[in-house]
Amino acid sequence: MISRKNNPESGFKKGKKKVMSDKNTYDASSITVLEGLEAVRKRPGMYIGSVSTKGLNHLIYEIVDNSVDEHLAGFCSHIYVTLEKDGSATVSDNGRGIPVEMHEKGMSAERLVFTTLHAGGKFDDSAYKTSGGLHGVGSSVVNALSTFLTVRVKKGGYIYEDKYERGVPVIPLQDGLLPVVGKTKETGTEINFLPDDTIFDRTRFKGSEVMSRLHETAYLNPELTIEFEDRRGEEVEHTTFHEPEGIRGFIKDMNKSKDAIHDVIYFSGESEGVAVEVAFQYVNEFHENVLGFCNNIYNAEGGTHLTGFKTMFTTVINNYARQLNVLKEKDPNFTGADVRNGMTAVVSIKHPDPRFEGQTKTKLDNQDAAKVVSKVTGDEIVRYFDRNLEALKNIIGCAEKAAKIRKTEEKAKTNLLTKQKYSFDSNGKLANCESKDASKCEIFIVEGDSAGGSAKTARNRAYQAILPIRGKILNVEKASIDKVLANAEIKTMINAFGCGFSEGYGNDFDITKLRYNKIIIMADADVDGAHISTLLLTLFYRFMPELISEGHVYIAMPPLYKAMPSKGKEEYLYDDKALEKYRKRHKGPFTLQRYKGLGEMDAQQLWETTLDPETRILKQVEIEDSRLASQITEMLMGTDVPPRKAFIYERANEAILDV
């Protein structure tokens, strides 16, 4: 650690920027470097996933991963991560320090690391490089996206310093070398950077998320200690992450508030130069949580290591189930999903040359990884189960339960499709329209019976149908399919739309049967209304995604205010910005009515503001791509309320006139 031990008071002196002459900081190679960094600033999302808080936190991980590499190489035992009062982050380690001497390209090696895209791993002589993936190569990306970034390297008795602004070096080299700012007997690297607020939506790191990721890193590196400090609040918060139990501890932690049915099972092995470690435990819950890591980096999209583990595990459990006569001769095998019902697992491998594919380059692609993990799993898990029959029987019990539920769900779905397909007109609450010409028809899904009543009166019954729904419909992200299908509100909707739904076991959705060209969600302009809208969108996204991708889904934007001037025309105002503008442009007194909900409008007002195609405002729901939608659904349906609210209100501002 540099700043704390050696010179505890040495922060980074702000506001004292040196002015440099160009000839000191730029040379021929700098030109391509700048072009590279410019590309990063132009499309930050391509390099860090997004410019949301997630992408912001990612900057820290990109830097930390370098120190983890140094740990893997055997030269670093401690990493320090500090969220500073000024909004910057400091990451330091007690490794050997980034090389600072001249490199062949006429630049210090350190500058090459921070200004060249994909320079990671170049000076890294560890057996397991994280390079080749998205990680550990991102120091230059972080640099490009930072208002300032300061590097301090302790090495060979000296402390060297380098500084950048938006990726561009601002310190002149002296005979091609970095300036020395002090002496020390220690070694290590320290990086301090401030994310650029012209790039990121928000520049406040999320402490809890950073901590949870650092904790994860500690589990994966049992000999590493990570010190985290948040200095931004009144009180400084300090946490030490050191997890000598490794991934076993990781599993225990993930399952700590759950009902586990056996002790954590752990095994490891090595083959063809690939090291494999697996830990898992079953809990009394109906879902699986299997995480894959390669060289200590989480693989969000999974990959070959997980495939190898899952395939072998399924085979082994089916073999045991037959040996134990749980599965009879005529019974089909358990599916992979049956077998993993209730499983929490971490599969961590070390690979000398990892390759990644997929949308975010986080899916391990090495075929040998599947082979090796499968072999180690087959050998080790059988050894374990032969000696621990009790755990094995409990696990097979979970698979049996899962298979039973799966069969019930399959049946429930067939029933719904055959028996209830034609119950469309017998639906009490739906006030259908007269026209059968789907291209002209619209259906309004209205929150609440009273608003529903007004909407029924106000509508043009020739082509507008009204379906009132009560309260909150089921959160389909969390519910099992038979529950979803048993929900009266959801059944009514599926029947009304007329095109079935798709899920899991085959696609029965037929968009050509859709009875309405526009499906319009009509909810109050408040948090509850926003919640209802997201629940409906989740339902559509999961079971009828083409409704969204083909542009049939809209959100009605009821006005927030009605301005009634003493002279002149009344005007509906749809948000606070509109009100602000109205105040500026309108001279003279006016009365302002604020609508708290759709229920407060009479039929005429409802017609003018939300039903009449001539005057209403609709926001068409779009899916830019399915990945984004899936993330949003997850975000919207997660337990975190603030980002959800922010998202909905952001979108509301994008509302466009539908003419």
Tell me which residues are annotated as active site.
447, 524, 526, 528
Residues in Cβ contact with 294 at an 8 Å cutoff, skipping those fewer than 6 apart = 133, 303, 305, 348, 349, 350, 351, 354, 364, 369
- Is the Cβ of residue 66 or residue 605 nearer to ligand TTJ in the bound state? 66
- Is the Cβ of residue 145 or residue 430 nearer to ligand TTJ in the bound state? 145
Amino acid at 441: C
Distance of alpha carbon 383 from alpha carbon 391, whole angstroms: 13
Q: How far is the CB of 71 from ligand TTJ (least distance, A)?
A: 9
Q: How far is the CB of 111 from ligand TTJ (least distance, A)?
A: 12
Amino acid at 185: K
Residues in Cβ contact with 585 at an 8 Å cutoff, skipping those fewer than 6 apart = none
- Residues 49, 51, 53, CA angle at the centre, nearest 5°? 100
- Is the Cβ of residue 55 or residue 95 nearer to ligand TTJ in the bound state? 95
Residue 50 buriedness (CB in 10 A; 0-12 / 13-18 / 19+): middle
CB contact burial 20-44 (16+ within 10 A = b; e otherwise) = eeeeebeeeebeebeebbeebbeeb
C-beta neighbour count of 484 within 10 angstroms = 23
What are residue 275's DSSP bridge partners?
270, 350
Cα–Cα distances in angstroms (integers) from residue 546 to residues 64, 444, 516, 539, 635, in the given order:
41, 18, 13, 12, 21
Q: How far is the CB of 10 from ligand TTJ (least distance, A)?
A: 17
Contact by Cβ (8 Å): 293, 276: no
Coil, helix or strand for 41? helix
Residue 444 buriedness (CB in 10 A; 0-12 / 13-18 / 19+): buried
- Is the Cβ of residue 69 or residue 447 nearer to ligand TTJ in the bound state? 69
- Is the Cβ of residue 83 or residue 494 nearer to ligand TTJ in the bound state? 83
- Is the Cβ of residue 4 or residue 483 nearer to ligand TTJ in the bound state? 4
Nearest 10 degrees: CA dihedral of 114, 71, 213, 478? Answer: 120
Distance of alpha carbon 193 from alpha carbon 146, whole angstroms: 6
Q: How far is the CB of 96 from ligand TTJ (least distance, A)?
A: 4
Q: How far is the CB of 179 from ligand TTJ (least distance, A)?
A: 19
Q: How far is the CB of 224 from ligand TTJ (least distance, A)?
A: 13
Q: How far is the CB of 63 from ligand TTJ (least distance, A)?
A: 5
- Is the Cβ of residue 70 or residue 277 nearer to ligand TTJ in the bound state? 70
Strands 553-556 and 265-271: unpaired
Contact by Cβ (8 Å): 646, 636: no
Distance of alpha carbon 250 from alpha carbon 241, whole angstroms: 12
Q: How far is the CB of 208 from ligand TTJ (least distance, A)?
A: 22
Cα 645 to chain centroid distance, Å, stands at: 16
Q: How far is the CB of 92 from ligand TTJ (least distance, A)?
A: 6
C-beta neighbour count of 574 within 10 angstroms = 18
- Is the Cβ of residue 100 or residue 251 nearer to ligand TTJ in the bound state? 100
448: number of CA atoms within 13 Å, CB side?
Answer: 13
Distance of alpha carbon 572 from alpha carbon 568, whole angstroms: 13
Strand segments, DSSP code E, in 295-441 are 297-298, 343-350, 356-357, 363-364
- Is the Cβ of residue 64 or residue 364 nearer to ligand TTJ in the bound state? 64
Q: How far is the CB of 183 from ligand TTJ (least distance, A)?
A: 19
- Is the Cβ of residue 67 or residue 116 nearer to ligand TTJ in the bound state? 67
Which helix (DSSP H) or strand (DSSP E) does residue 5 occupy?
none
**Nearest in space to 255 (alpha carbons), one of 336, 343, 339:** 343
**Nearest in space to 324 (alpha carbons), one of 379, 381, 389:** 389
**Nearest in space to 345 (alpha carbons), one of 390, 282, 290:** 290
- Binding residues (CB under 6 A) for ligand TTJ: these are 63, 66-67, 70, 91, 93, 95-99, 113, 123-125, 139, 189, 191
**Nearest in space to 412 (alpha carbons), one of 486, 341, 478, 477:** 486
Q: How far is the CB of 56 from ligand TTJ (least distance, A)?
A: 17
- Is the Cβ of residue 98 or residue 173 nearer to ligand TTJ in the bound state? 98
